Amino acid sequence: MRIQRSIAGLAVLLAATLTATAAGPVSAAPSEAPAASGATAAGPGTDYAHDDPFTSERTDWWRQDRFGMFIHFGAYSNWEGEYPRADGTVCRDAEWIQRSCKIPTDAYEKKAATFDPADFDAKAVVKTAKDAGMKYIVITSKHHEGYAMWPTKVNSWNLRDHSSFDKNRDILAELKKAADDAGIKLGFYYSIWDWHDPDFPDPATFPKYEKRMYAQLKELVDSYDPALLWFDGEWDTEDPHNPWTARDGERLEAYLHDLDPDLVVNNRVGKRRVVDGDYGTPEQTIPDAPVDGQLWESCMTLNGHWGYARYDQNWKSPGSLVRNLLATSSRSGNYLLNVGPDSRGGIPRQSVDRLKQMGDWLRADGQGEAVYGARYGGLVDEPAWGSVSRKGDVLYAAVTDWPAAGQPLHLKARTDFKIAHARVLGSDQEVTVTRSGDGYDLTPSGGPTNDIATVVRLTVDTGPETPTSTGHGLKQEIFDNATLSGDPKITRVDPTVNHAWKYAGSPDPSIPADTFSVRWSGHLTAPRTENYTLTTVSDDTARVWIDGKLVVDASDPHGPRVDKGTVRLTAGTRHAIRIDYTENTGEAHMKLLWSSPDQEQEIVPARRLTAD
């Protein structure tokens, strides 16, 4: 629930109300796209990094839930994937049908006027999600076609004003209530790219579109209190031209967090980069390892289309879907799996059945423990016979290729740890654990419990952790030049190296947004003796030394980029750390994260850093 509305947000609301009253319903948008984050306009001293998405309370529900339902539903659904051309041929596509089939605007609008999703049943949709074991839902509020699926006041191109649907219904409100009643988080997909708004393509008129977009997003946040906004349509493209820039994304993201500081936002709010939003959005693919520098969520279709396409019967099997889910959670990712309701608003039976079988697997024998709140296995390499996720002192080895009788499952260890106990979820068979070469052999005494994935639960002991030290951060020296030269203008303690100054911001109001540099120094203590990966997310340059040894060298000027290096840290030792950072012009970013086989990726916390 939103905590507060900033002064900037209230100012926008007032401007929008006055505009709507005076000029009628055409555009209740603010006179200017609101200033960025905070009650005052963005500028020197602004830092957009409010927390660490890897550990913050704000993103905790998202990192625990792991599995969500994507819903692609819009005026395009009314075509059900097929456009009968005048010459008798049929052009096929789903949510892109208008553009793919070059449907004239008047014909498209005429068809939308017949759209009547009377069978849309929010409770049934939420039940389908729950039966699948899904914990959050993201529904398209507006796709590239520009058609709003809620009664927006910004224009009349929407389900309330331009359809044959019951004008007393609001499907987003119905879904919000059903989701709330079921304990499911609700988020909205919103396409920046808009094929319908005449002001979109021309950079000269784009600000008019942008104001309407801001007003619609404010409607969504104010009316439905979404937990998440899933932006799309941010890429450079033509037909129509898309003028969206990273700077536009900077301002929009700040505005949204002014509206609701708790919102979770994906990286397509900007330009789909590691520095945009809270998480990355690989599509129709699953990264083969945890993603450096950013949370991530893989979105995927159940067949070959996002929107409903009556002809597409290329459905994925329940087994492959469960294995995809296990692969994502074992690499600290989320899985957003899509359904496309038909023209009446019903979810295809083939989708419902597959999702139910996924939920049946998750509920059986507590197998969902390998997914919900689980993360990268870390302690071991991912095996060829399945995936390994971790939650606390438990590893969940999900076996998709069960060994022949008497043959072992081998796990290659990445660090020192012990396996205290092993058991097969859903079976009382013995599992013998033996040290073997570079790791452990697990030898089951029986067969698999199912034909999708059998989970072996391993209780592990990673040994003592040095007590959480009482650090408060590193010494920070800020220079009003880009060469770390002369005396620092400002010297202070910086709790963490977690900064997104972007285009408009800088480390202090007295420091201009360009041409500055920062040096951090002090000591770092590690919880365990391991090989740690230090990861920087930086723009323009960054270098990191540990005990005088250069570990990360990102000294070549660059745009937002991830760099990393590995260093052996000894538990209890105060390791000297120094970071040199420079900003010339443009965007400015500097984050320092760490990870190890035992430590999941996070911004290096203040308690592990001292300024002396």
For binding to ligand FHN (CB under 6 A), which residues are involved?
A: 95-96, 232, 283, 299, 306
Nearest-angstrom CA–CA distance, 271 and 283: 15
Minimum distance between the CB of residue 79 and ligand FHN, rounded to whole angstroms?
14
CA-based angle 62:2:127, to the nearest 5? Answer: 50
Q: Do the Cβ atoms of 587 and 531 come closer than 8 Å?
A: no
Output the smallest distance, CB 152 to ligand FHN, in A: 19
Q: What is the dihedral of CA 359, 363, 365, 369, to 10 degrees?
A: 100
Write down the least CB distance from residue 299 to ligand FHN, Å: 5
- Cα gap 447→454, rounded to integer Å: 9
Torsion angle, alpha carbons of 407, 400, 65, 422, to 10: -10
Question: CA-CA distance, 134 to 126, in Å (whole number)?
Answer: 9
Q: Left if phi > 0, otherwise alpha if psi is -120 to 50, otherwise beta: which for 469?
A: beta
Closest CB to ligand FHN among residues 218, 305: 305
Q: Which is nearer to ligand FHN, 190 or 532 (CB)?
A: 190
CA distances from 54 to 58, 180, 290, 333 (A): 10, 25, 12, 11
CB 338, CB 306: distance < 8 Å: yes
Least gap, CB of 273 to ligand FHN (angstroms): 15
Q: How far is the CB of 346 from ligand FHN (least distance, A)?
A: 20
User: From the CB of 270, what's the least distance to ligand FHN, in Å?
Assistant: 15
In the bound state with ligand FHN, the residue whose beta carbon lies nearer, of 207 and 304, is 304
Q: Provide the minimum distance between the beta carbon of 107 and ligand FHN in the complex, in angstroms, as a whole number.
A: 20
Specify the residue, 195 or 479, whose C-beta has the smaller distance to ligand FHN: 195
Which residue lies nearer to ligand FHN by CB, 140 or 449?
140
Distance CA 431, CA 451 (A): 19
Min separation Cβ 283 and ligand FHN, Å: 5
Instruction: Using the minimum distance from each CB to ligand FHN, give the nearer residue, 192 or 592.
Output: 192
Distances (CA, A) of 50 to 56, 69, 278, 438: 9, 28, 11, 42
Angle between helices 318-329 and 349-363 (to 10 degrees): 50
Q: Name every residue whose Cβ is closer than 8 Å to that of residue 505 and which is 6 or more positions away in sequence.
A: 42, 43, 44, 45, 46, 47, 48, 513, 588
**Residue 328 C-beta: closest distance to ligand FHN, Å:** 15
User: What is the smallest separation between the CB atom of 284 and ligand FHN, expressed in angstroms?
Assistant: 8
As measured in angstroms, the least distance from the Cβ of 562 to ligand FHN is 22
Q: How far is the CB of 264 from ligand FHN (least distance, A)?
A: 16
Of 35 and 186, which has the nearer Cβ to ligand FHN?
186
DSSP for residue 413: B
Q: State which amino acid sits at residue 264.
A: V
Q: For ligand FHN, which is the closer residue by CB, 224 or 306? A: 306
Q: Which is nearer to ligand FHN, 95 or 121 (CB)?
A: 95
**Which CB atom, from 95 or from 587, has the smaller least distance to ligand FHN?**
95
- Return d(Cα 288, Cα 276) in angstroms, integer: 21
| Helices 246-259 + 7-23 axis angle, to 10 | 100
Q: Given the complex with ligand FHN, which of 283 and 416 has the nearer CB atom?
A: 283
Q: Please, what is the end-to-end C-alpha distance for the chain in angstroms?
A: 40
59 Rama class: left (phi>0) / alpha (psi -120 to 50) / beta: alpha
Round to whole Å and give the CA distance between 267 and 254: 13
Return the number of the residue (95 or 170) whose C-beta is nearest ligand FHN.
95
Separation between Cα atoms, residue 65 and residue 297, nearest integer Å? 11
